[in-house]
Structure 1
Amino acid sequence: MIRLFVALLAGLLLLLFGGCGSKPRPGEDDTLTSGNIKIAVDETFRPIIEEELQVFQALNPEATIHPIYCSEVEAMNLLLKDSVRLAITTRRLTEKEEKYFNDKKFFPVSVKMATDGLALIVNKQNADSLITVSRFKEILTGKITDWKQLYPASPLGELQLVFDNPNSSTVHYVIDSICGGQPLSKDLKAQKTNPEVISYVAKHPDALGVIGVNWMGNEADSTRLSFNDAVRIMAVSRAATATVENSFKPFQAYLALDQYPLTRNVYILLNDPKSGLPSGLTSFLTDFRGQRIILKSGLVPATAAVRIVDVKE
Structure 2
Amino acid sequence: MKSSLFKIVVFIGIISVVIYACKQNDGKQEETVIKGTATIYVDQTLQPIVEDQVSVFESQYDAKLNLVNKSESEIVNDLLTDKTQMAVLSRKLTADEESHFKQKKIKAKITHFASDAIVFITNNKSQDTLIDLQEVINLLQEKESKIKGLVFENPNSSIVSYMNTLAGVKNNQKTNIYSLNSHKEVLEYVSKNPGTIGVIGLNLLVQPFEDTQQYADNITVMSVRNVKSQPNSTSYYKPTQLNLGEGLYPLKRPIYLLNYQGTAGLGMGFASFVAGEIGQRIILKSGLLPVRIPSRELNVRKEIINNK
Greater Rg, structure 1 or structure 2?
2
Aligned to 1:230: 218
TM-score of the aligned structures, taking structure 1 as reference length: 0.80
Aligned to 2:304: none
Q: Is the 8 A contact 2:281 2:294 kept in 1?
A: no
Aligned to 2:23: 17
1:100–1:7: structure 2 CA closer, same or farther, 3 Å change rule?
closer
TM-score of the aligned structures, taking structure 2 as reference length: 0.82
Matched residues, number: 280
Displacement of 1:186: 3.5
Kindly provide the amino acid, as one letter, of the partner of residue 168 in structure 1. Answer: S
- The RMSD of aligned alpha carbons is 2.6
Q: Is the 8 A contact 1:131 1:242 kept in 2?
A: no
Aligned to 1:156: none
1:291–1:76: structure 2 CA closer, same or farther, 3 Å change rule?
same
1:206–1:241: structure 2 CA closer, same or farther, 3 Å change rule?
farther
Q: How does 1:186-201 map to 2 (within 5 A)?
A: 186-201=175-190
Q: Deviations over 1:23-53 (max 9, x none)?
A: 65xxxx5110111111111111101000000
Q: Is the 8 A contact 1:160 1:206 kept in 2?
A: no
Q: Deviations over 1:55-98 (max 9, x none)?
A: 0000113x111111101111112222222221111112212222
Q: How does 1:274-285 map to 2 (within 5 A)?
A: 274-285=263-274
Alignment partners' CA distance in 2, 1:203 and 1:281: 40
Three-state SS of the structure 2 residue aligned to 1:39 is: strand
Consecutive unaligned residues in structure 2, runs of 5 or more = 209-214, 297-308
Consecutive unaligned residues in structure 1, runs of 5 or more = 151-158, 220-226, 308-313
Counting helix residues as a fraction of each chain, which structure ranks higher?
2
Deviates more, 1:189-198 or 1:295-304: 189-198
Q: Deviations over 1:187-236 (max 9, x none)?
A: 322122222221221122242110000111167xxxxxxx9422111111
Percent identical pairs in the alignment equals: 34
Alignment partners' CA distance in 2, 1:3 and 1:110: 54
Q: Is the 8 A contact 2:116 2:288 kept in 1?
A: yes
Kindly provide the amino acid, as one letter, of the partner of residue 16 in structure 1. Answer: C
Aligned to 2:78: 78
Aligned to 2:152: 163
Aligned to 2:200: 211
Three-state SS of the structure 2 residue aligned to 1:165 is: coil
Aligned to 2:109: 109
Alignment partners' CA distance in 2, 1:53 and 1:192: 26
Aligned to 2:139: 139
1:218–1:273: structure 2 CA closer, same or farther, 3 Å change rule?
closer
Kindly provide the amino acid, as one letter, of the partner of residue 88 in structure 2. Answer: I
Alignment partners' CA distance in 2, 1:83 and 1:51: 24
